[in-house]
Structure 1
Amino acid sequence: MDNIYFLMIIALAILAIADLVVGVSNDAVNFLNSALGSKAISFRTIMIVASLGIACGAVFSSGLMEVARKGIFVPEQFMFSEIMIIFMAVMITDILLLDFFNTLGMPTSTTVSIVFELLGAAVAMALIKIGIAGGSFSEVVDYINTSKATEIILGILLSVVVAFSVGALVQYVSRLLLSFNFEKKSKWAGAVFGGFALAAITYFIFIKGLKGTDYYVIIKPMIEGKTALIIAVSFIIWTLLSYVVVSIFKKNIYKLIIGVGTFALALAFAGNDLVNFIGVPIAAYQSYEAWSVSGVPATEFAMGVLGNKVPTPTSFLLIAGLIMVLTLWFSSKAKKVVKTSIDLSSQSDTKERFDPNYLSRNLVRMTMMIAKYTATVIPNSIQEKIDNRFTKPVIKLPKGEEHELPAFDLVRAAVNLMVASVLISIATSMKLPLSTTYVTFMVAMGTSLADRAWGSESAVYRVAGVLNVIGGWFFTAFCAFVAAGTVAYLIHLGGSAMIAVLLFLAILLLVRNYISHNKKSREVKAEDSLNKAESQSIHGVIEESADNISKALKRVSKINQITIHGLIDQDLDALKKAKKTVVKLEHEIDELQNDIFYFIKELDDSYLGASKFYIDVIGSIQDVAQSSSLIANISHKHVNNNHKALKKKQGEELLFISDKLANLCNEIRKIFDARSFNEIVPSIIEEKQDLLTYVQESIQKQVERTRYEESSPKNTTLYFKILLETKDLIKANMNILNLYFEENKNISVRKEITD
């Protein structure tokens, strides 16, 4: 039986490696979003700097490992066998929970997950012990370190408000002083800002941050009681160095701040968050060492040893740091999570991932009312000066040239890193496992708000996104507590067999999520994805949009066939697939519509006719997609509600129509692929008319069936809706072809007049 605990240690070591991978994939957003969003330095340089920061931070994180041993529960209240159940439940739950959020691309908190998992598993085990002993529920508080747990949880929640508020305040003041034309400011302005930022970062990370580690004893005599002096001297030195960098070496001081800040934040992340990934396995290993030499049965060995300060082996920290660095370089999920944060804080228009909701709309409306009232109080002269500081520079480019602007400028990126580093380091020095995700994300959102990145065009989407992320954090806490408690109870009931089952399920889910993520990543660049128009002439627009038409018709034809076969066969999975596919097509069309504004703005005056044609093309594609969407939705609803299946005659008619429609779409696609718009092929007109006639005849047949045979009103309603939408779908296809034919004819006429 004793061998089971050795096997559990091995399993926990493997789980620790997996947890490092999924954890870093989620937390990379903490230290990469500012550098990547500002495009201050190259991606390779950013990754090298962040990797060095992680490696150093991992070595400095030993002091925080105590949180996993005694920060949440009272170790002496549990026996070794019970502690191992708690630790195993925590690690299994943690991996699955973090990987779930990574797959969604949502930044969540590894700190919150580990804290509430430890709390949930410990409470579950305490309740089991109390139940066996016949005690009362109130005795749970004897097993939980309520004061420390409350301190940690309140600190995490408070960090959300503090990070957002401080980030907004510092960014607002920085923008007032530097404006968006900060590069044209006097050299001393950049030097002072650099001195302040670099002094704050270096003091709190390299000095204050070390206070939470065993290395602090070495430098303690030199800095104890000298905080003000060290900060003042550091500020003067860094200001002078910044001035030298700006004036003599002609380097951008903001890029230096971002580079140092990225290193510092990566160091703070590793120093603060490594406990979330390996703290539990290391605590389990140290528990196993203490128990194995005791000679006491596992069910009788009290774990008071965990209450003592035990240093973490440096070799473990170095291995963990190496795994974190490798994950940072190779994880595609890390890039997905980072993108969410950058998009929400972008200064320019971007594809909004989140839909507005009731709360976001009302928050934005209330904020606008407050801003409107404030504007009446502040004198106009002062308001104008403030507005001038927030006026963004306009970058004019020659027609045909593109410039990918950063999500935000160097000042905001520097403020993000400076504020987040300071807040995280303060928490680290107090040995509080503060959520670095909460801090960095909320700082970024606060600076975005203060920098007026959330305008009337994007505010409801961005606020909805922030609310979704924050809601996900509370969901994390609830799920972590319940899931870890449930897993601990299952392991208590099933023992080693249950552990094996749970580990097997965890592996299956991880593999499934990995395959699903790769599949979705490939779909983003799918062969039949629609592309926005980039040409500025009518000829170019015809060429580019013709490809979109061909792709759209191919997808619509496939969707329609899947829908009809799924409806006839009562195949709910097929109908779900059709519904999901048509939603993706509609989203792509919506993106094309959202791009119309920029397309028109980029056109030369001589090609303005291309804008009307492009708008008509997108509208026609949308008509086709809407008809296909309605057919897929009503078919899915019919089968999902378990209504009567179609009758044999109805199925045969729909299959015939579906096949004929697929042939028509294929013939039209050939014309678009060949760009042969000179004349509409008579056979296509004839095929279209025959198909419309057949659809009309099917409608008439259904009318007769309804009068004498049909007994299902749901069935009849569905059938009529499908036939009517099919008519619209056929007409929309022909409208597209006619649109290109007419435009091609107009081009020929204009060419003849010109010649």
Structure 2
Amino acid sequence: MGDIYILMLVALTVLAVIDLVVGVSNDAVNFLNSAIGSKAVSIRTLMIVASIGIFFGAVFSSGMMEVARKGIFVPSQFYFNEIMIIFMAVMITDVILLDLFNTLGMPTSTTVSIVFELLGAAVAMALIKIGGSDTETMANLGKYINSESALLIISGILLSVVIAFTVGAIVQYFTRLIFTFHYEKRMKYFGAIFGGLALTAITYFIFMKGLGGTPFYDDIKHLLVGNEFIIIGISFVFWLIVSQLFSILFKKNILVLVILVGTFGLALAFAGNDLVNFIGVPMAALHSYRAWSVSGIEATELSMGVLAQKVPTESLLLFIAGAIMVVTLWLSKKARSVTETEIGLARQGDGHEKFQPNFFSRLIVRGSVNISQAFKFIIPNSVVDKIDQQFQKPVVTLPKDKEYELPAFDMIRASVNLMVAGILISIATSFKLPLSTTYVTFMVAMGTSLADRAWDRESAVYRVAGVVNVILGWFSTAIIAFLASATFAYLIYLGGGIVIALSLILVGFLLVRGYLVHSRKLKEKNKKRYMKRAELITISGVIEESSGHISEVIKRVNKLYTSVVDDLASHDLNKLAKTEKHVKKLNKEVNELKEDVFYFIKSLDDASVKASRFYILVLGYLQDVTQSIEYISSSSFRHVNNHHKNLKKSQINDLKSINEKLKELFDQIEIDFSEKSFQDLSRILEEKQELLNHVSESIDNQIGRIRTEETSPKNTTLYFGILLETKDLISALMNLLQLYHEFYVLEKKKLGNN
């Protein structure tokens, strides 16, 4: 019987390693974003500092394992076999859930996930025990669960979201009023004071939070507790002197040191305290197994009150865990995706928005605009003008091919992010209030973004939508973690080893699938051929950069049109649904290119007006093409989805005939544009009228059928719609070819004159 528990320990060990990888990939957002977004130091330097913080935080952590053992449930109320089921269910759920959020590129809380997974599995097992008892009822659930801890954690989540956002916004607003965006001069006079304050806050955070779980904390606790103000005073004087010397000796901005120390502090606290989220459960399982193996008592009879005792230090395991976390930090691509989400929402400049507006974001932005307008009536214009001057952003001029090097926000905001997050986490720790470091750091970053006016009228509705989506994701984390963990616990209780094996196979499948999905997204992102603004200063540049993209669009339209015709012929709803999905994706990509027109034109030289006009026309014709195929696809899907009659055989034959001619046209265009060979465009243009005439003949044939045999108005509507949109598609395509043909003739004349 013991063999099953050894296998469970092995499985838990493997899951712990995987959980470390997926957990670090998500929680890296907590300590990397401020430094990455501000570009205060090189990525290499930043990663080294964060790695040192993570490693020391992991190696010296020990006392933080209590939550996995007795923080959520009462261990003495469960037997060894039941505890192992709870732990297996928790780890399986945690790996799946965190990897899902990593694949989506969304930050979530590893603390909240592990807490609600423990709660869900423990509740499920408690209900099983109550159901099998003749004397217990639902009223006895409280003796199995630490309900006070659960309620305290939930309240901590709600409070941390609101408080972190509010405090971050207030501190950043007044910091910006003092230093402005042109802070270099003022930093010469007040930089040492600001650096002293910021570094003092971060140092206090490192001692009170980062070292709180270390094995030697009890040895120095008497020096820290009760002497907070003395520590703060000494730290401020020390860092004030260091800040001044740093600026004088190294001739560098003190904010660089603030950001580095702040990143180290957050990384140290993350590893030292959040490590429980990844290996706390497997370590508790190991200690449970050791206690059972020497007890001589049956697994179904040994109460696990031993878990309420002090956790022994496992130095080797902590060392290995720290090493895995550091390696993951350097190699994880998903960590970069999660980081990009927060930086994208916090960035000062414009760009492509990841999230689409929703009802809540529109409502919030509309209300904020109204409140802002109301304040303008109350506050004197002179004061408003003075405040606006403090928020005037500097105009940074860079070579056009270097614009991507601009930071997402400046070092003032990065320093405030780290300082405020550290202070809030330290205060919560001192009052023993549970919170999520992810929630605090994210909401502080969002608050400082709002105060810095990074969310203007152009971007606010998208950024707020992103924040709303992330917050909803947080609460869904708790619900999903609870339900999934409870379900796994119940299934493992029923099926034992077979269910565990199947669950591990499911974990492997989902991890591989998540990796493939994420890799595909990265490839698609890299494959997107957004016009390189710096190189598009002539029509030739536009031609060179856009031809391959046009070839790709035509290739996809060709395939999509054929799919619609074939799926209509077979009346296949599922295939039409898939085709419509691909059509919408194509249309979205072309729309994104059109949304980029403003930045493209703004980045060009004054002598590049013709290139701008050419580029706009190209995108306009491409959009016409994709809109036509979108209409054809959506109307066909809607027709079949509403269970209308099949198109008649004569109608299908006409569409297939048109499709064959279009396929020949599309194939030739795809080849010409992929090879950038435009000498054959004149021949294709000459066949334009023949194509349009063929479509017109099909329209005439349908008119004849209506007068003699056609009895379905829905079929007629669909058929005419497809034919008319096909005519529009051909016309837009021919206009695009005409544009490129004129360019080819013009270039040929230039060569002849030379």
Contact kept, 8 Å, 2:628 with 2:725, in 1: the verdict is yes
Contact kept, 8 Å, 1:30 with 1:441, in 2: the verdict is yes
Q: What is the match of residue 495 of structure 1?
A: 496
Bigger mean CA deviation after superposition, 568-577 or 64-73: 568-577
State how 1:414-563 maps to structure 2 within 5 Å: 414-428=415-429, 433-526=434-527, 529-533=529-533, 534-563=535-564
Q: Could you tell me which amino acid in structure 1 is paired with residue 394 of structure 2?
A: P
Q: Could you tell me which amino acid in structure 1 is paired with residue 33 of structure 2?
A: N
Q: What is the match of residue 91 of structure 1?
A: 91
How many residues align structurally? 752
Bigger mean CA deviation after superposition, 290-299 or 600-609: 600-609
Q: 1:312 to 1:678 in 2, by over 3 A?
A: same
Counterparts of 2:486 and 2:290 in 1: how far apart (Å)? 25
Contact kept, 8 Å, 1:205 with 1:422, in 2: the verdict is no
Counterparts of 1:593 and 1:685 in 2: how far apart (Å)? 26
Q: 1:398 to 1:529 in 2, by over 3 A?
A: closer
Q: What is the match of residue 690 of structure 2?
A: 690
Contact kept, 8 Å, 2:57 with 2:210, in 1: the verdict is no
Q: Could you tell me which amino acid in structure 1 is paired with residue 123 of structure 2?
A: V
Counterparts of 2:530 and 2:639 in 1: how far apart (Å)? 30
Q: 1:710 to 1:25 in 2, by over 3 A?
A: farther
Q: 1:268 to 1:236 in 2, by over 3 A?
A: same
* TM-score, normalization by structure 2: 0.95
Aligned-pair Cα RMSD in Å: 2.4
Bigger mean CA deviation after superposition, 502-511 or 234-243: 502-511
Q: Could you tell me which amino acid in structure 1 is paired with residue 386 of structure 2?
A: K
Contact kept, 8 Å, 1:209 with 1:428, in 2: the verdict is no
Q: Could you tell me which amino acid in structure 1 is paired with residue 558 of structure 2?
A: S
Q: What is the match of residue 102 of structure 2?
A: 102
Contact kept, 8 Å, 1:64 with 1:431, in 2: the verdict is no
Q: What is the match of residue 327 of structure 1?
A: 328
Contact kept, 8 Å, 1:28 with 1:338, in 2: the verdict is yes
State how 1:200-215 maps to structure 2 within 5 Å: 200-215=201-216
Q: 1:510 to 1:672 in 2, by over 3 A?
A: closer
Contact kept, 8 Å, 1:111 with 1:433, in 2: the verdict is no
Contact kept, 8 Å, 1:530 with 1:552, in 2: the verdict is no
Counterparts of 2:263 and 2:605 in 1: how far apart (Å)? 42
Counterparts of 2:580 and 2:305 in 1: how far apart (Å)? 58
Q: What is the match of residue 73 of structure 2?
A: 73
Q: Could you tell me which amino acid in structure 1 is paired with residue 26 of structure 2?
A: N
Q: Could you tell me which amino acid in structure 1 is paired with residue 723 of structure 2?
A: L
Q: Secondary structure at the match of 2:456?
A: coil
Q: What is the match of residue 269 of structure 2?
A: 268
Q: What is the match of residue 356 of structure 1?
A: 357
Counterparts of 1:136 and 1:53 in 2: how far apart (Å)? 48
Q: Could you tell me which amino acid in structure 1 is paired with residue 446 of structure 2?
A: M
Q: Secondary structure at the match of 2:107?
A: coil
Contact kept, 8 Å, 1:210 with 1:429, in 2: the verdict is no
Q: Secondary structure at the match of 2:377?
A: helix
Counterparts of 1:213 and 1:426 in 2: how far apart (Å)? 18
* TM-score, normalization by structure 1: 0.95
Deviation, structure 1 residue 343: 0.2
Contact kept, 8 Å, 2:208 with 2:429, in 1: the verdict is no
Q: 1:738 to 1:308 in 2, by over 3 A?
A: same
Q: Secondary structure at the match of 1:608?
A: helix
Q: Could you tell me which amino acid in structure 2 is paired with residue 441 of structure 1?
A: F
Q: What is the match of residue 723 of structure 1?
A: 723
Q: 1:400 to 1:297 in 2, by over 3 A?
A: closer
Deviation, structure 1 residue 670: 4.6
Deviation, structure 1 residue 498: 1.4
Deviation, structure 1 residue 636: 3.1
Counterparts of 1:207 and 1:143 in 2: how far apart (Å)? 32
Contact kept, 8 Å, 1:272 with 1:434, in 2: the verdict is no
Q: 1:459 to 1:69 in 2, by over 3 A?
A: same
Q: 1:434 to 1:194 in 2, by over 3 A?
A: same
Counterparts of 1:315 and 1:537 in 2: how far apart (Å)? 63
Counterparts of 1:749 and 1:498 in 2: how far apart (Å)? 75
Bigger mean CA deviation after superposition, 115-124 or 704-713: 704-713
Deviation, structure 1 residue 576: 4.0
Q: Could you tell me which amino acid in structure 2 is paired with residue 154 of structure 1?
A: S
Counterparts of 1:552 and 1:694 in 2: how far apart (Å)? 24
Deviation, structure 1 residue 690: 2.2
Deviations 1:322-359 (A, max 9, x none): 11111111111111111011000000002101111111
Q: Could you tell me which amino acid in structure 2 is paired with residue 277 of structure 1?
A: F
Structure 2 unaligned runs (5+)? none
Q: What is the match of residue 10 of structure 1?
A: 10
Q: Could you tell me which amino acid in structure 1 is paired with residue 519 of structure 2?
A: N
Bigger mean CA deviation after superposition, 177-186 or 452-461: 177-186
Counterparts of 2:187 and 2:90 in 1: how far apart (Å)? 54
Deviations 1:275-325 (A, max 9, x none): 111111111111111111111111111111111222231211111111111
Deviation, structure 1 residue 158: 1.2
State how 1:106-145 maps to structure 2 within 5 Å: 106-134=106-134, 135-145=136-146
Q: 1:459 to 1:621 in 2, by over 3 A?
A: same
Contact kept, 8 Å, 1:208 with 1:426, in 2: the verdict is no
Deviation, structure 1 residue 680: 5.0
**1:62 partnered with 2:93:** no
Q: Could you tell me which amino acid in structure 2 is paired with residue 325 of structure 1?
A: V
Counterparts of 1:145 and 1:186 in 2: how far apart (Å)? 50
Q: Secondary structure at the match of 1:395?
A: coil
Q: What is the match of residue 183 of structure 1?
A: 184
Q: Could you tell me which amino acid in structure 2 is paired with residue 297 of structure 1?
A: E
Deviations 1:661-693 (A, max 9, x none): 122123334554565667952x32343222222
Counterparts of 2:309 and 2:75 in 1: how far apart (Å)? 10
Q: 1:720 to 1:477 in 2, by over 3 A?
A: same
Contact kept, 8 Å, 2:536 with 2:611, in 1: the verdict is no
Q: Could you tell me which amino acid in structure 2 is paired with residue 66 of structure 1?
A: E
Q: What is the match of residue 699 of structure 1?
A: 699
Counterparts of 1:278 and 1:433 in 2: how far apart (Å)? 19
Deviations 1:618-638 (A, max 9, x none): 111100111111222223334
Deviation, structure 1 residue 509: 1.5
Counterparts of 1:254 and 1:633 in 2: how far apart (Å)? 54
Counterparts of 2:508 and 2:398 in 1: how far apart (Å)? 52
Bigger mean CA deviation after superposition, 205-214 or 403-412: 205-214
Counterparts of 1:530 and 1:633 in 2: how far apart (Å)? 27
Q: Could you tell me which amino acid in structure 1 is paired with residue 698 of structure 2?
A: S
Deviation, structure 1 residue 44: 1.1
Counterparts of 1:711 and 1:70 in 2: how far apart (Å)? 73
Deviations 1:670-726 (A, max 9, x none): 554565667952x32343222222222222333344454445544443322222211
Deviation, structure 1 residue 92: 0.8
Deviation, structure 1 residue 575: 3.3
Deviation, structure 1 residue 496: 1.6
Counterparts of 1:508 and 1:674 in 2: how far apart (Å)? 41
Q: 1:57 to 1:94 in 2, by over 3 A?
A: same
Q: 1:400 to 1:525 in 2, by over 3 A?
A: closer
Q: What is the match of residue 45 of structure 2?
A: 45
Structure 1 unaligned runs (5+)? none
Deviation, structure 1 residue 398: 5.9
Bigger mean CA deviation after superposition, 97-106 or 580-589: 580-589
Counterparts of 2:262 and 2:440 in 1: how far apart (Å)? 15
Q: 1:196 to 1:721 in 2, by over 3 A?
A: same
**1:411 partnered with 2:412:** yes
Q: What is the match of residue 598 of structure 1?
A: 599
Counterparts of 2:476 and 2:399 in 1: how far apart (Å)? 49
Contact kept, 8 Å, 1:38 with 1:406, in 2: the verdict is yes
Counterparts of 1:105 and 1:359 in 2: how far apart (Å)? 21
Q: Could you tell me which amino acid in structure 2 is paired with residue 356 of structure 1?
A: P
Contact kept, 8 Å, 1:122 with 1:485, in 2: the verdict is yes
Q: Could you tell me which amino acid in structure 1 is paired with residue 370 of structure 2?
A: M
Q: What is the match of residue 617 of structure 2?
A: 616
Contact kept, 8 Å, 1:212 with 1:430, in 2: the verdict is no
Deviations 1:47-102 (A, max 9, x none): 11111111111123311110011111111111111111111111111111111111
Deviation, structure 1 residue 363: 0.7
